[in-house]
Amino acid sequence: MLTAKNELLAALAGELEVLSPGAGAKAAFESPKVAAHGDFACTAAMQLAKPLKLNPRALGEQLKAALEATPAFQRWVSAIEIAGPGFLNILLQPAAKQEVVREVLAAGAHFGYQADNGQQVLVEFVSANPTGPLHVGHGRQAALGDAICNLFATQGWKVHREFYYNDAGVQIDTLTKSTQLRAKGFKPGDDCWPTDSENPLAKNFYNGDYIADIAEAFKAKATVKADDREFTANGDVDDYDNIRGFAVAYLRNEQDKDLQAFNLKFDEYYLESSLYTSGRVEGTVNKLIANGKTYEQDGALWLKSTDYGDDKDRVMRKQDGTFTYFVPDVAYHIAKWERGFTKVVNIQGTDHHGTIARVRAGLQAADVGIPKGYPDYVLHTMVRVVKGGEEVKISKRAGSYVTLRDLIEWTSKDAVRFFLLSRKPDTEYTFDVDLAVAQNNDNPVYYVQYAHARIQSVLRAWQEAGGGDVASLKGVDLAALEGPQAQALMLQLAKYPEMLTAAADGEAPHDVTFYLRDLAASYHSYYDAERILVDDEAVKKARLALVAATAQVLHNGLAVLGVSAPARM
């Protein structure tokens, strides 16, 4: 059907160009709001009527006659109808819709993929500081980031997954102090344990059981290994630096376990500390000063960020000589640009919204050739977790929040991924644990996976009865696929490539979840309407080819989300 659609679009473009030079570039089909009205709709007559000073319906009649005379429309279209003020409703020949079955079976796992575009994209996500287990917010980032990377890959991009974390600073000091106190035998609630009344920073002390686990491992002189580091403890509870190095490595190891449970790997772990040791932060600040984009006031160094649309100028270097947190961010993004990543996507929580303007301002002020609007941002809200009808707010492991591993252990990797991707990132989301484990049609991931498993069951029954393999279905006669449910299913299959492109362009993996639910619903309707393993060999093979193609697209879409496509359920 993609072939048919492309030929029809080319014919439409040619006729529009005749009517109005330049209009051919805007040739497009829409989906009719009512399926019975046709397979494609065209509104070009209404759009061109005013500039051409013609009646839109009369122009529609003229365009209809011109299109009916083209070889493409004669081959693929059974009827064109005029509706309303000039809509063209186009009804395809069954053969046009059937073509998509061959296209899917021929392309297999690469159906919907675009050719290599020669470009690379860096997607930064999760980027959790090594101060505790990954929480469900990190889980949403992980699901979003991985799915967006997969979407880019389908569109011909070379994708680089990057994890950036702060391995120094106040939070790491707090982690170290918390671990040291535990190693010395103290615990939250003891007289020596900081409280809010004693120290405003004490509320950041880490009270979860995982701190005690780190302390015990440190005293046991354990060796821990993460993707980016390995460290052996010396067991000396007074060696602050050794405790710091061990605690960071221990938690990086824990985070790696969370990511492994999520089937997620990164191409690179980028350390904030490296921006200082390499001189990138200092070099960036000096560049901004040299460009005249800063000024001194009240003992601090300020960036003239209002010159670039920020609501106020921002402090870069505080009175105590330390830099504010957006300064290394600017240096980091200059490094991304210099590494050749002309497209960068950052996935962060909505609490980072305020950093966007100042980071982009810093990049423009640095004047190193980075375009406005760099980088892209995908911001997401946090996730509420409900179990047994009540909100779950704490975890024994973390002490103050539900961890990603908790959620995976309560449900499954597949459910967590699909559920966390099933809404737009910036919308509030409540993760219902009970729904995620339910084996019914109310559970969206079960509904989609069951459609795939149901098809595999049909294919197995055919093969066990002496049928061939799926590859043998590629060249079968599809003429028998004329029923309304079969044609609706084929139209749904044909939407997949354009959906992928739109989802990648919009960095919107939730579009894939919506599509998969619609495709599953279309398959279930078809299965209920037509028996597949009938006696008529030609009809049976045509129907088997259709459902095999459907299984392939379900598998492909689930793979984009990082969700499995089980053969049995």
* 277, 287 contact by CB (below 8 A): no
Q: Using the CB atoms, write b or e for 468-482: b if 16+ within 10 Å.
A: eebeebeebebebbe
For residue 198, what pLDDT is reported?
Answer: 45
For residue 168, what pLDDT is reported?
Answer: 73
Q: How far apart are CA 550 and CA 459, in angstroms?
A: 12
* 244, 172 contact by CB (below 8 A): yes
Q: Which two tokens stand for residue 244?
A: 């710091």
* 270, 228 contact by CB (below 8 A): no
Q: Which two tokens stand for residue 387?
A: 């179990």
Dihedral over alpha carbons 87, 93, 96, 101 (to 10 degrees): 120
- Antiparallel, parallel or unpaired: β 300-303 and 77-83: unpaired
Q: Catalogue all structural domains in the chain, each as residue range(s) with its CATH number.
A: 2-92 (3.30.1360.70), 120-167+271-380 (3.40.50.620), 170-268 (no CATH), 441-561 (1.10.730.10)
The pLDDT tens digits along the chain (569 residues) read 778 898 999 999 999 999 999 999 999 998 887 777 888 999 999 999 999 999 999 999 999 999 999 999 999 999 999 988 888 999 999 899 999 999 999 999 999 999 999 999 999 999 988 888 899 999 999 999 999 999 999 999 999 999 998 887 788 888 999 999 999 999 888 887 776 544 444 455 788 888 999 999 999 999 999 888 899 999 999 999 999 999 999 999 999 999 999 999 999 999 999 999 999 999 999 999 999 999 999 999 999 999 999 999 999 999 999 898 899 999 999 999 999 999 999 999 998 888 899 999 999 999 999 999 999 999 999 899 999 999 987 655 556 688 899 999 999 999 999 999 999 999 999 999 999 999 999 999 999 999 999 999 999 999 999 988 899 999 899 999 999 999 999 999 999 999 999 999 999 999 999 999 999 999 999 999 999 999 999 999 999 999 999 999 999 999 999 999 999 99
DSSP state of 322: P
The 10s digit of each residue's pLDDT in 390-448 is: 998 765 555 668 889 999 999 999 999 999 999 999 999 999 999 999 999 999 999 99
Angle at which helices 496-505 and 537-561 cross, to 10° = 10
- Antiparallel, parallel or unpaired: β 120-124 and 294-297: unpaired
For residue 377, what pLDDT is reported?
Answer: 96
For residue 197, what pLDDT is reported?
Answer: 46
For residue 202, what pLDDT is reported?
Answer: 43
Helix, strand, or coil here: 90?
A: strand
Q: What is the H or E stretch that residue 391 is in? A: strand 390-392
Query: Exposed (0-12), middle (13-18) or buried (19+): which is 373, by Cβ within 10 Å?
Result: exposed
Give me the sheet containing 390-392, strands edge to edge.
390-392, 383-387, 429-432
403-406, long-range: CB within 8 Å, 24+ apart, which pairs? 403/133, 403/134, 403/135, 403/136, 403/258, 404/133, 404/134, 404/135, 404/136, 404/138, 404/139, 404/142, 404/258, 404/261, 404/262, 405/133, 405/134, 405/257, 405/258, 405/261
For residue 114, what pLDDT is reported?
Answer: 95
Q: How far apart are CA 241 and CA 529, in angstroms?
A: 69
Q: How far apart are CA 360 and CA 314, in angstroms?
A: 12
Q: How far apart are CA 512 and CA 489, in angstroms?
A: 17
Helix, strand, or coil here: 563?
A: coil
Residue for token digits 């990797």? 413
Phi and psi based region of residue 384 (left: phi greater than 0; alpha: psi -120 to 50; beta: remaining): beta
